C-alpha cells in the first residue's frame, strides 16, 4: 500500500473520531453491505466506481484516490463499463443505455436513441470525435458509431451482428469481440468489418482484449474449451495461443484483461471455477493468482485499476487495494454502499439498527452501527438470517418483526447485538408488518390481522381486524390501525375490538401517525396524505404520490413516497419539498436518530439528513426533563439477593417484575398503587413459586402510567 494512501486512511480516521463533518442535505450512509463493484475509471482528477447487482447499480465518486467515496447521483440498472474521453465521462448501463457527464459527475444526461434502453458493454474512442459502442441485449445486435464525440449515435450499416463484450484499437485497427462470435476487425474507423478468427476456436466467446504496443492479447473460451489467452502480432489478423497454465476451471467469464508495467492482468468472474485476478510477467504464458488473500477468500474480480502505484480490484464484496502485488489487501470502499435496502430502522440511544434487505433471503439480516455507519456489526441469533420489517424499543428490550429464514418476533436484551425468538402462539410463517406498544400490550400487525401479547412477548393471541394491518399508532389514548386494504380502524381496548374510521378515497393505507392533535393516513394512491378531522377524512395538500412512510419528529411530520419524494410539514397543511439530493428511490421507512432523520430505501441503502434542517428546528437543545421513573440495583452482580431502588416523580400504579432474557416473567415483586418519591424492593433470587432461579442475566422491569424503565441484573453462583 502506498504511503500516500496510508496517510489518507489515517487522516480520515482522525477526522471521523474528532469532528464529524456537517451533513449537506441528504447523504448516503456507508454500508451496511459492500458495493458490488463492476467498473472503475479515472476522470477529471477523480475516481469513479460503478456497481451492479440484480439489475441495479449506482455510481460513486472519490476525490482522494479511492480512500473514501460519495454517491454520484446516477441510480441505474447496473454499470457495465466506464470511459473517460476528453471532458466527458461515459457510463454504459444494463437496459439503461449510455449516460454521459460533462461536469465531472455533477450531473448526468442519457445520450438517447438508439441507445436509450440498451445494455452498453463497451465504448471505444477511435479519435477525438469518433466513438464505437457495443451492446449485449441477449441476442445479436449491431455496433453503434458516433461522429460527434458521443452526442448522437447510429447503428453501423452492414456491420457485424453480435452480443458485444469488448472493443479495442491497435495501430489504427478496431477490434470487436462477442459471445459465440469470435473477433471482428475494421481498418477504417468502424465503417466496415470482417471476421478475424484465424487461430481461434470456432464460434468462441471473445471476451476481453488488452493492447501492449503493437501486440493484442485476447481472453476467449467456448463451451467445452477452457479459457485461454491468445496473442496477435499482426493487428488482429491471426491469433496464437500463449497461456500454458491457466486453471481449466478458471470461471466462465473474463471481466478485464489489462497490460500494465510489462505484465498482463486477467480478471475473471462467474458462477464456478477458480475465479480471481491473475498476473503474467512473461507475455501471458504463465499465470499467478493474486487475490487468494482477499478478506473474502478468492472472489470473482469484476473491475481493475491502478491507482497511485497500487493495485485496486472491484469485487461483489467491495473494493480492495494492494500495494504489494496482492500479498495483502485493504478494503477501500468507505462511503459507498451495496445494492441493498431496509424496511425498518431504529435508534436505541446507543446504536442504529437496520433491517438489511439484499434481494436474496439468505443474505438478509439485522445490522447495527454505533459510529454513524463507519462500521457495522451483524446481529446473532435469528436476526443473522432475516431482515426486520419493524422494530420496537420497550423497557430497554429491542423487539424485531423478522422476515427471512426466521419469521415472527425476536427480542434483544443487549441493544440489538443478539436476538432470541419469542412469540409462542403465532402461526407458522407469519409475515409481520409492524410492532407497537399500547398500555400493557405488545401488538404485532400482519397480513391476517393482529397478534397481541400481555406478557412482554412471551405468548401471543390472534385478534381479528377489519383488514391486514400495515401500521399502528396511538392518539389520545386510542389505538389506530392502517389497513391494506380496509382504510383505518380504531380500538379503545388495546386491539381487542375495532371500529372503522370514516371513509377514505383509497382503502389501501400504508401508514398512520398521530401529529398535531390529529390522525394522518398515508394512502397508497395519488390522493396522498389524509387527515381525520373528527368527522371525515380531508386532504392535506401533500404533493407526495403513493406515500409509504410517516415520521413525527421535532414538531414536524415527514412523508416519504414510493417515488422517492420527501416532504415535511409543521402544520399538516403546508409542505416543504425535502427531496433535494436524495436519489435513493422508493422509501420503505423513516426513522430518527439523535441527530438525523434517516431514510431506509428499498434497494439503495440508507440516507441521513440533519434534524436541524427541519422547519423551525433550533440549534439550542432543551434541558433534559427529569425522568418520571428511575430504577437501579445494588449490589449488582449479586448473590443471593439485591435491592431495587426506584424514584417516582408522582404517585400512581407501579408494576415491578423480574424477567429472563427471553422476556418471560420470573417473579412479580410489586403490583399496586405507590406514593411519589423513593422506594426500595428486595429480590431474593427466587421465582413466583419460591424456587431459587439459575445463575445468569435477568431484567428488573418497572412500569407506570408515566413510562417504563428496566435494569439488567446478574445473579452469580
Of 328, 343, 378, the position where a domain reaches its end is 328
CB burial readout 351-389, b (16+ within 10 A) else e:
bbbbbbbbbeeeebbbbbbeebbbebeebebbbbbbbbb
Interatomic CA distance for residues 193 and 188, integer angstroms: 9
Predicted pLDDT at 368: 95
Q: How far is CA 366 from CA 371, 400, 418, in A?
A: 16, 9, 9
CA–CA gap between residue 44 and residue 62 (Å, rounded): 11
Q: Do the beta carbons of residue 442 and residue 645 sit within 8 Å?
A: no
Is residue 679 in some structural domain? yes
Q: What is the pLDDT averaged over residues 567-581?
A: 95
Q: What confidence tens digit (pLDDT) does each residue in 168-207 have?
A: 999 999 999 999 999 999 999 999 999 999 999 998 999 9
673 lies in the same domain as 687: yes
- Ranges 172-186, 293-307, 370-384, 551-565: which has the least confidence: 293-307
In a domain, 506, yes or no: no
Q: Is 192 exposed, middle or buried (0-12, 13-18, 19+ CB in 10 A)?
A: middle
Q: Give the rounded percent of residues in the chain with a pLDDT score beyond 90.
A: 71
Position with higher pLDDT, 66 vs 6: 66
d(CA 192, CA 159): 6
Q: Is residue 498 part of a domain?
A: no
CATH number at residue 694: 2.60.40.4070
Mean pLDDT of 443-461: 91
Q: Are 352 and 344 in contact (CB under 8 A)?
A: no
- Rounded to 5 degrees, φ, ψ at 478 are -110, 150
Render pLDDT for 38-52 as a digit per residue (tens, 0 to 9).
Answer: 999 999 999 999 999
φ, ψ for residue 531 (rounded to 5)? -120, 135
pLDDT surpassing 60 at residue 446: yes
- Report residue 8's pLDDT band, with 50, 70 and 90 as the boundaries: very low
Q: Could you give the CA distance from residue 584 to residue 490 in angstroms, rounded to a whole number?
A: 34
Average confidence score pLDDT of the chain = 90
Q: Over 70: is that where the pLDDT of 263 sits? A: yes
Query: Are residues 165 and 147 located together in one domain of the fold?
Result: no
Q: Is residue 180 one of the residues assigned to a domain?
A: yes
Confidence at residue 706, expressed as pLDDT on a 0 to 100 scale = 66
**Count of CB atoms situated within 10 Å of the CB of 707:** 12
The answer to whether the beta carbons of residues 268 and 250 sit under 8 Å apart is yes
| pLDDT of residue 359 exceeding 70 | no
Mean predicted confidence (pLDDT) in 624-650:
79
Tell me how far apart the alpha carbons of residues 619 and 567 are, in angstroms, rounded to a whole number. 21
Note if the bond before 637 is cis, omega within 30 degrees.
yes
- Note the maximum CA span of the chain: 97
Residue 55's pLDDT band (cuts 50, 70, 90): confident
Residues 257 and 272 in one domain: yes
Under DSSP, is residue 5 helix (H, G, I), strand (E, B) or coil?
A: helix
DSSP one-letter code for 104: T
Q: Where among 269, 293, 328 does a domain terminate? A: 328
> Which of 299, 328, 357 is where one domain is finished?
328
Consecutive H or E run containing 522: strand 518-523
3-state helix, strand, coil in the chain (%, to 5): 5, 50, 45
Least Cα distance to 254 among 332, 306, 179, 186 occurs for: 179
Chain segment 579-634, per-residue pLDDT in tens: 998 999 999 999 999 999 999 998 899 999 999 999 976 543 443 344 567 788 88
Q: How many domains does the chain have?
A: 4
Give dist(CA 259, CA 8) in Å, integer: 28
Is residue 86 within 8 Å of 128, Cβ to Cβ?
yes
Whether 134 shows a pLDDT value over 90: the answer reads yes
What pLDDT, on a 0 to 100 scale, did the predictor assign at position 653? 83
State residue 280's pLDDT score. 97
Same domain for 118 and 179:
no
The alpha carbon of 449 is separated from its chain's Cα centroid by a whole number of angstroms, namely: 29
- Does residue 532 or residue 396 have the better pLDDT? 532
Q: Are residues 48 and 139 in the same domain?
A: yes
Residue 3, SS3 per DSSP: helix
Lowest mean pLDDT across 217-221, 229-233, 661-665:
661-665
- Same-domain pairing of 219 and 309: no
**pLDDT digit string (tens) for 273-328?**
788 999 999 999 999 999 999 987 778 999 999 999 999 999 999 999 999 989 99
Q: Are strands 310-315 and 301-307 parallel, antiparallel or unpaired?
A: antiparallel
4 and 66 in a common domain: no
**pLDDT tens profile 360-369:** 444 689 999 9
Q: What's the number of CA atoms in the CB half-sphere (13 Å) around residue 383?
A: 31
Note whether 664 and 705 are same-domain residues.
yes
| CA-based end-to-end distance of the chain | 51
Whether 562 maps to a domain, the answer reads no
pLDDT band at residue 225 using 50, 70 and 90 as cut-offs: confident
| The predicted structure's pLDDT at residue 622 | 40
pLDDT-derived band at 672 (thresholds 50, 70, 90) equals confident
Do 84 and 125 lie in a common domain?
Answer: yes
Give the lowest-confidence range in 192-201, 221-230, 433-442. 221-230
Handedness of CA 242, 245, 251, 254 (dihedral sign): negative
For the residues 117-132, what does the mean pLDDT come to?
97
Instruction: Return the pLDDT at 213.
Output: 96
The answer on 162 and 145 residing in a single domain is no
Contact 657, 711 (CB under 8 A): no
- 186 and 133, same structural domain? no
pLDDT at 251: 65
Q: Which helix (H) or strand (E) holds 357?
A: strand 352-357
Long-range contacts of 496-504 (CB under 8 A, 24+ apart): 496/452, 496/463, 498/465, 498/466, 500/466, 501/532, 502/532, 502/535, 502/536, 502/537, 503/536, 503/537, 504/530, 504/537
Q: Is residue 548 part of a domain?
A: no
Query: 554 and 516 in contact (C-beta within 8 Å)?
Result: no
- The sheet carrying 88-93 orders its strands as 79-85, 88-93, 97-101, 109-110
Cα(471)–Cα(433) distance, rounded to whole angstroms?
7
Q: Which three cell numbers stand for residue 599?
A: 431514510
Cell numbers of 94, please?
444494463
Inside any domain, residue 276 = yes
CA angle 366/513/435 to nearest 5° reads: 35
In a domain, residue 519? The reply is no
Three-state DSSP class for 229?
strand
Range of the domain at 657: 629-715
- Residue 388: pLDDT over 90: yes
Portion of the chain with pLDDT greater than 70, in percent:
93
**Average pLDDT rounded to a whole number, residues 335-348:** 91
The reply to whether 151 and 170 lie within a common domain is: no
Q: Which of 342, 306, 335 is nearest to 318 (CA)?
A: 335
Cβ–Cβ < 8 Å for 162, 140: yes
Amino acid at each position: 500500500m502506498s504511503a500516500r494512501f496510508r496517510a489518507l486512511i489515517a487522516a480520515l480516521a482522525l477526522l471521523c473520531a474528532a469532528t464529524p463533518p456537517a451533513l449537506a442535505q441528504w447523504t448516503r450512509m456507508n454500508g451496511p453491505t459492500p458495493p458490488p463493484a463492476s467498473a472503475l475509471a479515472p476522470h477529471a482528477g477523480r475516481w469513479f466506481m460503478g456497481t451492479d447487482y440484480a439489475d441495479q447499480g449506482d455510481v460513486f465518486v472519490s476525490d482522494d484516490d479511492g480512500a473514501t467515496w460519495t454517491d454520484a447521483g446516477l441510480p441505474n440498472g447496473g454499470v457495465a463499463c466506464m470511459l473517460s474521453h476528453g471532458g466527458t465521462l461515459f457510463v454504459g448501463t444494463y437496459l439503461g443505455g449510455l449516460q454521459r457527464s460533462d461536469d465531472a459527475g455533477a450531473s448526468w444526461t442519457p445520450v438517447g436513441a438508439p441507445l436509450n434502453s440498451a445494455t452498453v458493454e463497451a465504448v471505444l474512442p477511435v479519435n477525438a470525435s469518433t466513438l464505437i459502442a457495443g451492446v449485449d441485449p441477449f441476442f445479436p445486435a449491431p455496433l453503434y458509431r458516433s461522429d460527434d464525440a458521443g452526442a448522437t449515435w447510429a447503428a453501423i450499416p452492414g456491420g457485424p451482428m453480435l452480443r458485444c463484450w469488448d472493443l479495442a484499437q491497435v495501430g489504427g485497427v478496431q477490434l470487436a469481440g462477442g459471445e459465440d462470435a469470435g473477433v471482428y476487425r475494421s481498418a477504417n474507423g468502424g465503417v466496415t468489418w470482417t471476421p478475424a478468427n484465424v487461430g481461434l476456436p470456432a464460434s468462441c466467446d471473445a471476451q476481453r482484449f488488452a493492447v501492449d504496443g503493437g501486440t493484442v492479447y485476447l481472453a476467449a473460451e467456448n463451451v467445452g474449451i477452457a479459457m485461454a489467452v491468445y496473442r496477435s502480432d499482426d493487428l488482429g489478423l491471426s491469433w496464437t495461443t500463449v497461456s500454458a497454465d491457466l486453471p481449466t476451471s478458471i470461471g466462465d467469464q473474463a471481466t478485464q484483461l489489462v497490460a500494465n508495467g510489462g505484465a498482463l492482468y486477467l480478471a475473471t468472474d462467474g458462477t464456478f471455477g477458480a475465479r480471481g485476478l491473475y498476473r503474467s510477467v512473461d507475455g501471458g504464458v504463465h499465470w499467478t493468482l493474486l487475490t487468494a488473500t482477499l478478506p473474502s477468500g478468492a472472489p470473482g474480480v469484476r473491475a481493475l485499476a491502478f491507482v497511485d502505484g497500487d493495485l485496486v480490484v472491484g469485487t461483489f464484496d467491495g473494493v480492495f487495494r494492494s500495494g504489494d502485488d496482492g500479498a495483502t489487501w485493504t478494503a477501500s470502499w468507505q462511503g459507498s454502499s451495496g445494492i441493498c435496502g431496509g424496511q425498518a430502522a431504529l435508534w436505541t440511544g446507543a446504536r442504529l439498527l437496520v433491517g438489511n434487505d439484499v434481494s436474496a433471503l439468505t443474505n438478509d439480516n439485522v445490522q447495527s452501527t454505533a459510529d454513524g455507519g463507519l462500521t457495522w456489526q451483524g446481529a446473532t441469533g435469528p436476526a443473522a438470517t432475516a431482515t426486520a420489517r419493524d422494530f420496537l424499543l420497550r423497557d430497554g428490550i429491542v423487539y424485531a418483526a423478522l422476515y427471512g429464514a426466521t419469521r415472527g418476533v425476536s427480542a434483544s436484551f443487549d441493544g440489538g447485538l443478539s436476538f432470541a425468538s419469542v412469540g409462542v402462539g403465532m402461526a407458522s410463517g407469519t409475515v409481520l408488518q409492524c410492532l407497537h406498544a399500547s398500555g400493557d400490550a405488545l401488538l404485532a400487525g400482519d397480513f391476517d390481522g393482529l397478534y397481541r401479547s400481555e406478557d412482554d412477548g412471551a405468548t401471543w393471541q390472534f385478534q381479528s381486524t377489519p383488514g391486514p394491518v400495515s401500521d399502528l399508532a396511538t392518539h389520545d389514548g386510542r389505538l389506530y390501525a392502517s389497513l391494506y386494504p380496509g382504510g383505518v380502524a380504531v380500538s379503545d381496548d388495546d386491539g381487542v375490538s375495532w371500529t372503522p374510521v370514516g371513509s377514505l378515497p383509497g382503502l389501501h393505507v400504508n401508514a398512520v401517525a398521530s401529529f398535531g392533535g390529529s390522525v394522518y393516513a398515508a394512502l397508497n394512491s395519488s390522493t396522498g396524505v389524509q387527515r381525520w378531522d373528527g368527522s371525515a377524512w380531508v386532504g392535506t395538500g401533500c404533493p407526495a404520490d403513493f406515500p409509504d412512510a410517516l415520521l413525527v419528529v421535532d414538531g414536524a411530520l415527514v412523508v416519504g413516497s414510493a417515488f422517492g419524494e420527501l416532504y415535511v410539514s409543521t402544520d399538516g397543511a403546508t409542505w416543504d419539498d425535502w427531496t433535494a439530493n436524495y436519489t435513493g428511490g422508493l422509501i420503505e421507512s423513516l426513522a430518527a436518530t439523535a441527530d438525523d432523520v434517516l431514510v431506509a430505501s428499498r434497494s439503495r441503502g440508507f440516507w441521513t439528513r440533519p434534524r436541524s434542517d427541519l422547519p423551525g428546528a433550533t440549534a439550542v437543545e432543551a434541558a433534559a426533563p427529569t425522568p418520571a421513573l428511575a430504577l437501579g440495583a445494588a449490589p449488582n452482580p449479586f448473590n443471593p439477593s439485591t435491592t431495587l431502588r426506584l424514584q417516582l416523580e408522582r404517585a400512581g400504579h407501579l408494576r415491578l417484575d423480574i424477567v429472563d432474557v427471553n422476556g418471560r416473567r420470573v417473579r412479580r415483586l410489586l403490583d399496586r398503587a405507590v406514593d411519589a418519591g423513593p422506594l426500595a424492593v428486595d429480590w431474593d433470587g427466587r421465582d413466583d413459586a419460591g424456587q431459587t432461579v439459575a445463575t445468569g442475566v435477568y431484567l428488573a422491569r418497572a412500569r407506570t402510567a408515566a413510562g417504563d424503565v428496566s435494569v439488567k441484573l446478574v445473579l452469580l453462583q
